[in-house]
Amino acid sequence: SPWQMRVGIAGVLVAASVVGVYLISVAGWSVGVVGVLSILAALAYTGGPWPFGYKGWGDPAVFLFFGVVAVMGTYFVQALRLSSEAALASLPVGALATAILVVNNVRDIESDGRAGKRTLAVRWGRRAGVAEYAWLLTAAYGALPFFIFLAQRSAWVLLPLLTLPRAVSLYRTLRDEVSGPPLNRALAGTAQLGFFFCLLLAAGWLL
């Protein structure tokens, strides 16, 4: 219900604020600024006078906050400095996080259109949504060799390539299926893909 949703949102924001106070004490007020901006973005995604999630800006927002901000913020609170390596590592993370949203938007393209939610899939069509998904997966895997040359990491950083067959399978599902159940599985599968990709990337980064 709407009331339960409001209570849930409030609970999450309170918990995030408590953690944020600790992180500010460790890493300074800049972390607090990023935290406040993240909270405002979360609220403005589907709320407020201009819910940008309904205007086609959800994809870049997810890439920014679930990729760049998440990875670089995590690095900063531990190292107390920014790093070009962390920025580079954030790119495939953001791409795969955005891919989850793309599957959701392609699956819901008809209901979103009726509800006036103008996602990129609604604006550009299903084929464009599938192409965006393919591009995001390509960007994630294509970034891996650059870690060797630009971040001076060993070839172990290519470990996420083990998940490539699964990525291809998920792309084919999104391309070929139009009904809910297969796309629901593709949605869950893309989230799992992101998890294992990042797990292998972290392992390869350390080896």
Domain region containing 117: 51-103+110-206
Look at the chain and report how many structural domains it folds into. Answer: 1
Summarize the confidence of residues 1-10 as an average pLDDT. Answer: 83
Would 129 be classed as within a structural domain?
yes
Report if residue 3 sits inside a domain.
Answer: no
Q: What is the mean pLDDT of residues 146-151?
A: 88
pLDDT digits (tens, 9 = 90+) for 67-76: 999 999 999 9
Cα–Cα distance measured from residue 166 to residue 187, given in angstroms and rounded to the nearest whole number: 13
In a domain, 1, yes or no: no
In this structure, the number of other CB atoms found within 10 A of the CB of residue 120 comes to 20
Residue 123 lies in a domain: yes
Of the candidates 179, 187, 180, 185, the one whose C-alpha atom is nearest the C-alpha of residue 133 is: 187
Which of 75-79, 102-106, 138-142 bottoms out in mean pLDDT, i.e. has the lowest? 75-79
Threshold 0.95, pTM exceeds? no
| pLDDT higher than threshold 80 for residue 48 | no
Q: Are 108 and 86 in contact (CB under 8 A)?
A: no
Q: How far, in Å, CA of 15 to CA of 90, rounded? A: 24
For residue 39, tell me if it sits in a domain. no
Please report whether residue 132 resides in a domain.
yes
**How high is the mean pLDDT of the chain?**
92
Per-residue model confidence (pLDDT) at position 137: 98
Which of 100, 105, 98, 101 shows the shortest CA–CA distance to 126? 105
pLDDT at 58: 94
**Structural domain includes residue 59:** yes
Report the pLDDT averaged over residues 134-152: 93
